[in-house]
């Protein structure tokens, strides 16, 4: 149980860093360039791919439980499914943007827009999932005190 909570905390941290730096990088489109831009891009990529690895672990830890609860908690299941779709779209647009030898018009804006939609869905997922996370943490604390 402690591992699940630690993965969750690491996931939130990588998500927050990726989000904040992504927004900072987007300022360029509004005429605000924050330096060192190359370092910011690299950190954004590193944290984004670290978040991807943590998401796969998180999904493998909770996928059975999510499937078991999908009838009882339809909105949480639907939100999680939407989150997965938006995450994959964000990951694909970012990876294509990073690896493309030529600039693809508006791909960065698509990446940003889908990323913001993913962030909103992530916040909903967190709000709905935090009560379960708190129960898991309480269970860990109680089992350590016994």
Task: Tell whether 11 is covered by a domain.
Answer: yes
Task: Output the CA–CA distances (angstroms, integers) from residue 55 to 38, 80, 101, 137, in the order listed.
Answer: 25, 12, 28, 19
User: Range of 32's domain?
Assistant: 2-140
pLDDT, tens digit (0-9, with 9 covering 90-100), for 19-75? 999 999 999 888 988 999 999 999 999 999 999 999 999 999 988 888 887 888 888
The residues near 13 (Cβ < 8 Å, ≥ 6 apart) are none
pLDDT number for residue 72: 83
pLDDT, tens digit (0-9, with 9 covering 90-100), for 71-106? 888 888 899 999 999 999 999 999 999 999 999 999
pLDDT, tens digit (0-9, with 9 covering 90-100), for 110-132? 999 999 999 999 999 999 887 76
Task: Locate 100 and state its tokens.
Answer: 């493309």
Task: Tell whether 12 is covered by a domain.
Answer: yes
Structural domain count, the chain: 1
Residue 57 carries which DSSP code? H
Task: Tell whether 146 is covered by a domain.
Answer: no
Task: Tell whether 85 is covered by a domain.
Answer: yes
Task: Tell whether 113 is covered by a domain.
Answer: yes
Task: Tell whether 69 is covered by a domain.
Answer: yes
The residues near 1 (Cβ < 8 Å, ≥ 6 apart) are 136, 139, 140, 143
Task: Tell whether 136 is covered by a domain.
Answer: yes
What gap in Å lies between CA 16 and CA 2, rounded to an integer? 21
Task: Tell whether 145 is covered by a domain.
Answer: no
């Amino acid at each position: 149980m402690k591992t699940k909570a630690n993965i969750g905390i690491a996931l939130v941290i990588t998500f927050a860093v990726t989000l904040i730096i992504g927004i900072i990088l987007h300022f360029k489109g509004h005429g605000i360039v924050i330096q060192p831009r190359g370092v910011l891009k690299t950190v954004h990529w590193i944290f984004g791919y670290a978040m991807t690895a943590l998401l796969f672990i998180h999904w493998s830890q909770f996928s059975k439980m999510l499937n078991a609860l999908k009838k009882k908690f339809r909105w949480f299941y639907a939100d999680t499914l939407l989150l997965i779709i938006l995450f994959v779209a964000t990951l694909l647009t970012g990876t294509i943007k990073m690896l493309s030898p030529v600039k693809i018009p508006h791909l960065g804006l698509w990446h940003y827009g889908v990323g913001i939609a993913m962030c909103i869905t992530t916040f909903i997922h967190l709000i709905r999932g935090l009560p379960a996370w708190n129960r898991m943490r309480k269970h860990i604390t109680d089992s350590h005190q016994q």
